[in-house]
């Protein structure tokens, strides 16, 4: 299986997912550096736009090696970048990937991921031919847990105290969906 040479554009009613570019660093920096936005991702948000640009280059290198598909999410109506989504730890032989998403604070809990997730799952299962998609999240991220449950993901278990934020340890809850479950759910 081959994921292609260019990152595909995915569209929903209100959002477009397009391949991230180095030019997106300035749009991504404000929310990737925001501690509140990043609280369920990392205790150490980026400190400079250059860090974002370097991360984008790493993501694009992984795309070229068919290990990741990195998108930015833009609001179609105002043409503003409001988040990121990726399939990472992509393994085409085993037909599996993990998901990662970050939505800027102003758009959190507004239905963005509900709309985007349906399209990305379709792409992952029906276009790429994946058999397994995983979402692992901090246990305290109740919004993401509910989102995954609503989309038919199965809770596999909790990995205890996987991440330290400088003050406390956080558990990670692992959810997954198999192609057969996706077919039954959709």
**Contact at 8 Å (CB) between 164 and 116?**
no
DSSP conformation class of 92: T
pLDDT digits (tens, 9 = 90+) for 152-181: 999 999 999 998 877 889 999 999 999 999
State the pLDDT at residue 70. 98
- Predicted model pTM: 0.94
Lookup: tokens for 186: 């959709």
Cβ proximity of 186 and 177 under 8 Å: no
Query: In this model, does residue 1 exceed pLDDT 70?
Result: no
Count CB atoms within 10 A of the CB of residue 173.
20
Contact 2, 64 (CB under 8 A): no
The answer to whether 92 and 1 have CB atoms below 8 angstroms apart is: yes
Mean pLDDT along residues 101-119: 95
Domain 10-185: CATH class, spelled out: alpha beta
CA angle 119, 103, 107 (to 5 degrees): 95
- pLDDT tens digits along 21-42: 999 999 999 999 999 999 888 8
The token pair that represents 134 in the structure block? 């995983």
**How is residue 13 written in tokens?**
């009613």
């Amino acid at each position: 299986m081959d994921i292609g040479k260019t990152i595909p554009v995915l569209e929903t009613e209100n959002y477009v997912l397009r391949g991230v570019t180095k030019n997106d660093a300035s749009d991504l920096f404000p929310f990737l550096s925001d501690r509140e936005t990043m609280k369920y991702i990392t205790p150490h948000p980026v400190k400079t736009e250059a860090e974002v640009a370097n991360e984008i280059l790493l993501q694009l290198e992984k795309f070229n090696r068919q290990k990741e598909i990195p998108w930015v999410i833009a609001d179609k109506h105002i043409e503003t970048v409001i988040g990121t989504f990726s399939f990472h730890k992509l393994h085409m032989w085993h037909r599996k990937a993990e998901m990662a998403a970050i939505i800027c604070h102003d758009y959190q809990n507004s239905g963005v991921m509900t709309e985007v997730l349906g399209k990305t799952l379709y792409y992952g299962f029906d276009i790429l031919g994946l058999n397994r998609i995983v979402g692992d999240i901090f246990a305290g991220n109740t919004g993401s847990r509910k989102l995954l449950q609503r989309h038919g993901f199965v809770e596999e278990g909790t990995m205890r105290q996987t991440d330290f934020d400088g003050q406390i340890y956080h558990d990670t809850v692992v959810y997954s969906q198999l192609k057969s479950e996706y077919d039954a759910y959709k």
